[in-house]
Chains A and B, each alone.
Chain A
Amino acid sequence: MMWRRKRMLEELDKDIREHIARETQDNIERGMSPEKAHYAAMRKFGNVTRVKEETREVWSVVWVEQILADIRLGLRMLLKSPGFAFVSILTLALGIGANTAVFSLVDCLVLRPLPIEHPERVVFLASSWKGGQASTAFSYADFREIGEQTPTIFSEMTAIRLYQADGVSRDRNSQPMLGSYVAGNFFDALGIKPALGRLILPSEGAITGADPVLVVSYSYWKSRFSGDPNIVGEKVTVNGLPVTVIGIAPEGFRGLSSLVDMQGYMPLAMAPTLKDAPADFLTARDAAYFVVIARLRPDIDMQQAQSALQVVAERLAQKRPKLAGILTIRAVHLGPAGLTINPGHPEMLPLISTLFLGLAASVLVLACMNIANLLLVRADSREREMATRSALGATRSRLIGHLLTESILLALLGGVGGVLLGLGASQALSSIPLHTSLPVVLDFRFDWRVFAYAFGVALLTGILVGVTPALRAARGDVNRILHEGGRTSTARDHRLRSALVVAQLGGSLMLLVVAGLFVRSLEHVQHSDLGFDPNGVLNVSLDPHEAGYDEQQAREFFRNLLQSARSLPGVQSASLAASVPMGYYDLGTALRIEGYQVPAVEREPYAAYNSVSPGYFETMRIHLLRGREFLDSDAENSPPVAIVSQAMADRYWHGMDPIGRNFSSDDEPNHSRQVVGVVKNIRAESFEAETSPFFYVPFAQSYQPVATLQVRTATAPETMVREVTGLIHSLEPVMPVFDVQPMTVALETVNGFLLFQFAAGLAACLGILGLVLAVVGVYGVISYAASQRTHEIGIRMALGAEPMQVLRMIFGQGFIIIVAGVLIGLVAAAGMARVLQNFLIGVRALDPITYSGASFLLGLVALAACYIPAFRAMRVDPMTALRHE
């Protein structure tokens, strides 16, 4: 279009000159003098400039120019009333900012696909048997078999042993690395290309110990090796053994989840050499260590994959008679959050995402109502301008277009502000301390999806906000307005504005109730009885294998460490544990309990457990109910013993005395343990779970390579950090330590309070934002109404009305609006109760305290907002008011 226009216009000048020359020539032939002939030709041709202008117009795209003109005019109008523009843009920026920030969370958690080739076709496998929890763990033998039986379904299938903590040393400086052991085709299957060097090859990792190579993640390379390219090809030590760094994974690739950075990758068959994996872990059918990832062939859908996997499951089950007919294997799409199978609440993440997006959207709606209110007021005062333009020939659609352009312009400017605010907010969100040494990444970065969302929201906002005032203004009756010229605000307008504010108050109350419920839920979990006392305890985690120790050396080290820790001044007690409550590591096993008949409908007994040293129950202040604690005499070769929780005793021994009873577990199939004590239940995994069966075994009898030293201190635990880590390094200078923090801080993890804090904080922010917007709305409407009534108030006062009566009159108007708003808000909040209940612990979604508290707060603040215009109205000077009209 553009090039055609250019070409056509290029020779217009020449054409016109040519035309006039011909006409002149004709005239001369008719006998005119050349000068006269030229003059006549010019006159006959007409206005050359106008002709050129009109010809150019033929080629110009009219609507583009009109929009440009509208935008220019809109900008001028905004500049003319900077106060209005500033308030509107700020309001919209707050609303859009809240939405953008929340959306960036949702984007990170739910929407943004993993940076792998065709992520939509990549699945992981989950197995489950009737009554049992779904599991992503498969044995290597099963993995091979599934792969061999489904070549027509999956083009690639690969296995990975996830999240192993390894110590990586370079120049005798050992630091933990979260690594994985992967099948040779792992990177090929995901379609990953190296940033530097090469990745692990399909040929590597078949023979135990044969390929000591390491690929590290981009961010680990940047942080641990400061991005030194020479690291490729260099030898480092992993758990004390030499390994060659062969390459760097591409930037942004964090393994199977976008939330945790997988820092290192080594071939599967290196696990027995580098890590404590048993030598037969690639052949034993019971050693379910592996997550299986597969890529669907392009022409295969999930349905076909599921039925093919079911056939495989039946075949696999034949080898394990216990599982025949009840084993199922299914493929699950690999989303951005990684391997999330949460059989109880599969849709939790999308659900809470939707909830918060909805809350943020409500905030924006409140903001929009404020703007709509302002625009309505302005539409009144601009009715005259519109009528004049219409009288001068502007069509109705041009007027509507112009007003809409103005509001969209406003919204887009608000959108820019919103994106800036949202950037700040999500920056703040992603820097929340997670209190873990795990490389958890909250990458709430703004990608094109977030920008598209912000732009879409802003555009929609502009249209929604502007459409009513635009239609109303353009509908105006030209004659009436130009003749009357005066007040045009009607009772109907006022009712519309009041209705907007009622809705605003309702929305705001709903947000406040939701915020209140989340805050009360957080309060509940923070004050719930955990069964142990987290105050005054310092945690230090360490893994002697990362410093190159073997099991005997590590046991020796732990023994020495405990002894010297107990004699540190200021330490009341010290103990070791394999895991800490609400931590990221835990242990669990299936049990066989002597004398307990498993009911037919139940799966076999299962319990989480912890491996702890003597002194643990004293350090954690877990109440011993019966029997005895672990003693130093419960050593490696002494008779195996266990201490069980109250819940386990009740469940499996039904109130009989469990002391002296025996049970064995899948983790230790070769011997059984005798129960020597019963302790109070603790909350070790989550706040919601009914306290489930739990037991403890002596650390000496159930050695774990990674352990946490816990010391109960006389003073604040933070003050003992230097002494305790100093002690560790006096025993072994290169021993890496991690998660050095008080137990109270360790509870603020993703499994602990963190999500509750996060939800409560976010909901509270949105609630406060909503409250502010609603109050501004109330203030705006009441003060506008009061100013419209200045004349009337003047007359009333002149006729002898008391100032208090005036105050009551204005207040009364506000009061009705507030009561109506609160009622609507209560209904709206109650309507959300069922959804909300999913996310609340220890507080009902219809909690009366929250409802009344939120109503009271909103009512009070809104009344205060009414007070200012009411007070001003009370002070009206009758003389001024009357003269003004």
Chain B
Amino acid sequence: MSTKEECERIELLQGTLDLLILRTLLLGPAHGHAIAKAIEFNSEDVLQVEQGSLYPALHRLIQRRWISVEEGTSENNRRAKFYKLTPKGRRQLTLETRKWDKLAGAIARILRPREQEGE
């Protein structure tokens, strides 16, 4: 399946998975399998989701009312549950993205201080 080495894959932190799901749903409603695929594809398979762990995360987001569920028909005419971003979830995504950028920036500065100074 994946051509990458095991060690290069990053195990997802719980909060990160939430963030990725919200990000994926920003593009439109999707069913569980499609979300898993999208995350794998968009991260060029670096982020390896154990697909099952998606479900607790989805339910956590539903409980927080960041996403909602509706019945729908998928591309090949199969009935499926579609997950959809709520306005509350959209706000949360903006917030989390900003937080994430900050954190990523900070980590980057810690790891490559010289380059930062050089710029």
Question: Which positions in A face B, CB cutoff 8 Å?
Answer: 8, 11-12, 15-16, 18-19, 22-23, 26, 40, 44-48, 50-51, 54-55, 57-59
Contacts and interface: CB of A to CB of B under 8 A. Distances in A.
A54 B33 contact: no
A45 B81 contact: no
Given A48-B52, A51-B55, A58-B63, 16 more contacts: A8-B59, A8-B69, A15-B32, A16-B52, A16-B55, A18-B80, A19-B36, A19-B51, A22-B33, A23-B33, A26-B37, A45-B50, A47-B52, A55-B55, A58-B60, A59-B63
Contact of A19 (B32, B60, B62): B32
Contacts of A47: 52
B59 A46 contact: no
B31 to A, nearest CB: 8
A456 to B, nearest CB: 34
26 contacts: A18-B31, A19-B33, A19-B36, A26-B37, A44-B1, A44-B50, A44-B51, A45-B50, A45-B52, A46-B50, A46-B51, A46-B52, A46-B53, A47-B52, A48-B52, A50-B52, A51-B52, A51-B55, A51-B56, A54-B53, A55-B55, A55-B59, A57-B56, A58-B59, A58-B63, A59-B63
A50 B52 CA distance: 9
A50 B53 CA distance: 9
B78 A18 contact: yes
Contacts of B59: 8, 55, 58-59
Contact of A12 (B50, B51, B55, B63): B55
Contacts of A11: 81
Given A15-B32, A59-B63, A40 B55 contact: no
Nearest to A11: B81
Given A51-B53, A57-B56, A18 B33 contact: yes
Top 8 nearest A-B pairs by Cβ distance?
Answer: A46-B52, A51-B52, A54-B56, A46-B50, A22-B33, A58-B59, A45-B52, A55-B56
B91 to A, nearest CB: 21
Contact of A45 (B51, B60, B69): B51
Contacts of B1: 40, 44
Main secondary structure of the interface of B (DSSP, over half): helix
B62 A8 contact: yes
Contacts of B51: 19, 23, 44-46
B41 to A, nearest CB: 12
Nearest to B61: A58
Nearest to B63: A58
A3 B33 CA distance: 26
Interface residues of B, number: 20
A501 B88 CA distance: 59
A502 B44 CA distance: 75
A513 to B, nearest CB: 61
B55 A15 contact: yes
A592 to B, nearest CB: 87
Interface string B57-72: 0011011000001000
Contacts of A12: 55
Contacts of A18: 31-33, 78, 80
A468 B62 CA distance: 41
Contacts of A19: 32-33, 36, 51
Nearest to A52: B55
Contacts of B81: 11, 15
B24 to A, nearest CB: 15
B72 to A, nearest CB: 12
A121 B102 CA distance: 65
A494 B53 CA distance: 54
Nearest to A32: B1
A20 B80 CA distance: 13
B92 to A, nearest CB: 16
Interface string B28-56: 00011100110000000000001111011
Nearest to B34: A22
A46 B36 CA distance: 13
A45 B53 CA distance: 8
Contacts of A40: 1
Contacts of A55: 55-56, 59
A451 to B, nearest CB: 37
A112 B60 CA distance: 50
B61 to A, nearest CB: 9
Contacts of A51: 52-53, 55-56
A209 B33 CA distance: 93
A50 B55 CA distance: 11
Interface in B77-113: 78, 80-81
Nearest to B58: A55
Most buried by B among A8, A11, A45, A59: A45
A319 B107 CA distance: 98
A11 B32 CA distance: 13
A22 B74 CA distance: 11
Contacts of A23: 33, 51
B29 to A, nearest CB: 15
Contacts of B56: 51, 54-55, 57-58
Interface in B2-21: none
B27 to A, nearest CB: 19
Contacts of B80: 18
A50 B81 CA distance: 21
A46 B62 CA distance: 22
A504 to B, nearest CB: 51
A40 B59 CA distance: 25
B39 to A, nearest CB: 13
A48 B53 CA distance: 9
A135 to B, nearest CB: 69
Contacts of A8: 59, 62, 69
B12 to A, nearest CB: 12
A210 B42 CA distance: 100
Most interface-central of A8, A18, A23, A40 (chain B CB within 10 A): A18
Contacts of B32: 15, 18-19
A44 B1 CA distance: 10
A48 B50 CA distance: 11
A744 to B, nearest CB: 76
A61 to B, nearest CB: 11
Contacts of B52: 16, 45-48, 50-51
A54 B59 CA distance: 10
B18 to A, nearest CB: 12
Contacts of B62: 8
